[in-house]
Amino acid sequence: MGQRLSVTVSVGVEGGSDAVVRQVRHLLATHELIKVRIPAGTGTARRQLAAELADKAQAACAGVVGRTALLYHPNEDIPPDKRILFG
């Protein structure tokens, strides 16, 4: 599912600042799955930054590939045809 998404948030060298967290929360309110571009660094540092950002935004990190992370947060207010359904 994440392959079809465009990057909606780019995290700069400031990392998971309050402004970035607010933007992520806003986007997750209208889309359950978003793609985030994270700064260059070691694989461990990128995964750690993605996990911290997800935690601050009350989301789950669905995965990190290269400099791209997928964040997920279920939202029952989204119309059923736009929701991510499991099972």
| CB burial readout 6-32, b (16+ within 10 A) else e | eebbebeeeebeeebbebbeebbeebb
Average pLDDT value for residue range 47-61: 94
What total of structural domains would you count in the chain? 1
Can you tell me the mean pLDDT for 56-71? 93
Give the start-end residues of each E strand in 2-76.
Answer: 7-10, 33-37, 60-65, 68-72
Greater confidence, 83 or 25?
A: 25
29 assigned to some structural domain: yes
Q: What is the CATH number of the domain that holds 18?
A: 3.30.110.60
Residue-level pLDDT at 46? 92
Higher pLDDT: 33 or 14? It is 33
pTM of the model as a whole: 0.85
Domain residues for the domain of 34 are 2-81
Which of the pair, 49 or 9, is modelled with greater confidence?
A: 49
